[in-house]
Chain A
Amino acid sequence: MNKLAIITAFLGSVKNRYMTYQGDRTLKEKFQMASKVDGIDGLELCYPADFEDLKKLKELLKQYNFGVSAINFRSRRTGKWWRGSFTSESLSERQEFIDEVRRAMDAAVELDCYRITTCPLNDGSDYLFEMNYIKAYDYAAETFSAACAHNTNVRVCIEYKESDPRTRCLFGNAGETASFCQWMGAENLGVTFDVGHALYAGERPAQSAVLLAKAKRLFYVHLNDNDGRWDWDMLPGAYHMWEFIEMFYYLRQLGYNDDWYGFDVFPKEIDTVDTFKAVVALTRKLEALTDRIDRKKMEKLLNERNPSKTMPYLYSLI
């Protein structure tokens, strides 16, 4: 069974364009919050925010008996890397990105975690004729290649997203990201598959998970839901119950069974602890529903490709 982690950024104040929800919280308070959620096994830590004091961080992890699912490297920062980090036109900014990723990889190893993930949100463009795509992909290949070579035991994951804050991010969907990882070539470069981002990009999550696994790039999974129009980071299954079940069905088959699910769910006006309690309950419930699917029967149904039989079968399980 996969273990469950909360991304620490979602345990403090969360923001959108108009509002700030919840309060700022210290790292210790975030640990305390997460510990109140039964069923949470660990945290996805944010770099650099959570790494001001590595010794203290280690103590907290030990004290709360939390594992680390991944280190989330922030590739966008207010006040710098304005025009992208790993695709920046500035050589020194790209070098700075490489240096920082290397430090984050070292910090991950210190915590016995061999996975860093980054969502390259600001590396993209707003307007047409704003970004030279040819150069942008070259820069991305150079920088990620340098980062991946630093320690091939650490897996580096790109979490694709179609847009926000750019009207178009450079890595917008599963296909683009898998393709980039493959032609770039480093075996420790792969994908953080965020289900909400997949839905926002118009994908079928199960299909994308299979594609990424076939490309040997399905490195990590984030769970959340939305209405397909924006990345709302909602409770899993609130909109796409069957999509989650179909995806869990395939993840088991693909062998993503003894790993982590990271949660990025937005606790707006609802209490943070209550939000993640619901997240855990819904995730385990969706998994349980998935387990009710008889694999032999489903294989037969999939061979027949007859939805008039498959859909009633699925609904007979609930």
Chain B
Amino acid sequence: MRNWRFAVNSGFLGKRRDRFTEYQPDRTLEEKFKLTRQIEGIEGIELKYPLDLKDIPLAKRLLDDTGLICPAVNVDIKDAAYFCYGALSARSAEARNRAISMLQESMDIAAELGAGLVTTCPLADGYDYPFQVDYTSAWGRFIESVKEVVSYRNDIKLALEFQPHEPHAKIMLSNVGKVLHVCAEVGLPNLGANLDVGHSFAAGESPAESAALLARKGRLFYIHTNDNTGEGGDWDMISGTVHFWHWLELLFTLDRVGYEGWFGGDVTSKHIGPAEAFDMNTRMIQRMVKFLKRAGPGEIDRLLQKDGNIAETFDYLSQCLIRGV
């Protein structure tokens, strides 16, 4: 089993809110770095654009001072002030160009910060009602916009993060298949996916299968780690607290397909502090990796190659997990 590196998504280090409640205080960039530095096992911080990157020299200095690495710049293209009717797919050229420029600027910033990757979750590109959007032209614009972004420079990758819904009832880029479709349409090697494990559960997928599909096409660039109840809510829970076996399957698969990217933590802290939430998220994943090492990926792989394997596989795995029963 590989040893992956862990980062936190800085978006979870400041004030959080849901429809009803606000959690945690606002924190400055300095405070976010300080907090991240205290979490064992965390080597990186995924920075938000524009929020965290208004002062690039400051971000660079903080990265130098703390020794943290920025594995990805996470670009927010959902501000309703500009993207009320979509961003990458918007009918308005002004809105589209704004989203494209923001992503291109972020690519330059990523290069400056030594991050090879820009990631974005295109949440403004969605709809609520039937007959609200002309899907044919909206998808055409979406793909053209993405193409324009990734054509800008080929030394920085763009990872699209799919999500089935929220804030709209339907998000256009809602599942792994659509990401692969966009990659195929655009046809450039620096376009791929940020597989958010919770979004994959919310979309009704087995994340291990989604990871395998993306990896087959060389499109698995980044992973956001978290969990949820699987009923559709993107709860950003601690990894493995709900879908324990699915998480093991994902980690096993990531090892098999040779995933060498980062694990970006995408976990909400609500009542416990962010440090505690990210610490537990990292430890849960590390322990699951350790368990797989103990069980032996070779043996699991051998069992996987047999038809009708499920009884034998779970007999083996459960014996490894629960000793003496």
A78 touches B21 (CB 8 A): yes
Q: Say whether A269 contacts B20, CB under 8 Å.
A: no
Which interface class (under 10, 10 to 19, 20 to 34, 35 or more) fits B?
20 to 34
CA distance A227 to B165 in the complex (A): 11
> Which residues, 128 to 167 on B, are CB-close (under 8 Å) to A?
128-130, 164-167
Judge whether A192 is part of the interface by a CB distance below 8 angstroms: no
Interface string of A75-93 (1 = CB under 8 A from B): 0101000110000000000
The answer, yes or no, to whether B297 is at the interface (CB within 8 Å) is no
A18-B123 in contact (CB<8A): yes
Total inter-chain residue pairs, C-beta < 8 Å: 81
Whether A235 sits at the interface, judged by CB under 8 Å, is yes
Interface members, chain A 159-180 (any B CB < 8 Å)? 162-165, 167-168
Which one of A98-106, A120-128, A216-224, A253-261 contacts B? Answer: A120-128
Contact A83 B19 (CB under 8 A): no
Counting CB contacts under 8 A, is B14 at the interface?
A: no
Q: Are A235 and B129 in contact (CB under 8 A)?
A: yes
Distance between Cα atoms of A267 and B229 in the complex (Å): 28
Contact B271 A230 (CB under 8 A): no
Answer yes or no: B169 CB below 8 A from chain A CBs: yes
A209 within 8 A of B: no
Checking B17, B85, B169, B231 against A269 with a beta-carbon cut-off of 8 angstroms, the contacting residue is B85
Structural contact, B233 and A167, CB atoms closer than 8 A: yes
Q: Does chain A have a CB within 8 A of B22?
A: yes
A250 in the interface (beta carbon within 8 A): no
**B235 interface residue (CB < 8 Å to A):** yes
B253 within 8 Å of A (CB atoms): no
Q: Is the CB of A18 within 8 A of B78?
A: yes
User: Of B167, B228, B229, which one neighbours A18 at CB under 8 angstroms?
Assistant: B167
Contact B169–A227 (Cβ < 8 Å): yes
A21-B80, A163-B231 given as contacts; is B165 within 8 A of A127 (CB)?
Answer: no
| Docked-complex contact A165 and B18, CB < 8 angstroms | yes
Decide if B241 is an interface residue (CB 8 Å cutoff).
Answer: yes
A229 to chain B, nearest CB (A): 4
B98 within 8 A of A: no
Q: In the complex, A76 Cα to B22 Cα: how many Å?
A: 11
Whether the Cβ atoms of A165 and B271 lie closer than 8 Å is no
Looking at the assembled complex, report how far the CB atom of B97 sits from the nearest CB atom of chain A, in whole angstroms: 20
A227 to B231, CA, bound (A): 13
A6 CA to B264 CA in the complex, in Å?
A: 42
Q: Are B232 and A230 in contact (CB under 8 A)?
A: yes
- For chain B, residues 169 to 192, give those with C-beta under 8 angstroms from any C-beta of chain A: 169-170
Asked if residues B169 and A167 are in contact (CB atoms below 8 Å), the reply is: no
Instruction: Say whether A316 faces chain B, with CB atoms less than 8 Å apart.
Output: no
Q: Does B84 contact A (CB under 8 A)?
A: yes
A19 & B235 in contact (Cβ 8 Å cutoff): no
The listed residue (A17, A82, A162) touching B19 by CB distance below 8 A is A17
A132 within 8 A of B: no
Taking the nearest CB of chain B, how far is it from the CB of A137, in angstroms?
Answer: 21
Inter-chain contacts of B170 with A (CB < 8 A): 227
A232 within 8 A of B: yes
Contacts A83-B271, A232-B169, A234-B128 given: A16-B231 contact, CB under 8 Å? no
Specify which of A227, A235, A238, A269 is in contact with B84 (CB 8 Å cutoff): A269
CA gap between A234 and B228 in the complex, in Å: 24
Which of B20, B80, B228, B235 is most buried by chain A, counting CB atoms within 10 A of its CB?
A: B20
Can you name 29 A-B pairs with beta carbons within 8 Å? Answer: A15-B19, A18-B123, A18-B166, A19-B80, A19-B167, A76-B21, A78-B22, A82-B271, A121-B20, A122-B20, A122-B21, A126-B235, A127-B238, A128-B241, A162-B231, A164-B19, A165-B18, A165-B19, A167-B228, A167-B229, A227-B169, A229-B164, A232-B169, A234-B128, A234-B169, A238-B128, A238-B129, A268-B167, A269-B84
Known contacts A18-B123, A227-B170, A232-B128; 9 further A-B pairs (Cβ under 8 A): A16-B19, A17-B18, A122-B20, A122-B21, A127-B241, A167-B237, A227-B169, A234-B129, A235-B129
Q: Using a CB–CB distance below 8 Å, which chain B residues touch chain A?
A: 17-22, 78, 80, 84-85, 123, 128-130, 164-167, 169-170, 228-229, 231-233, 235, 237-238, 241, 270-271
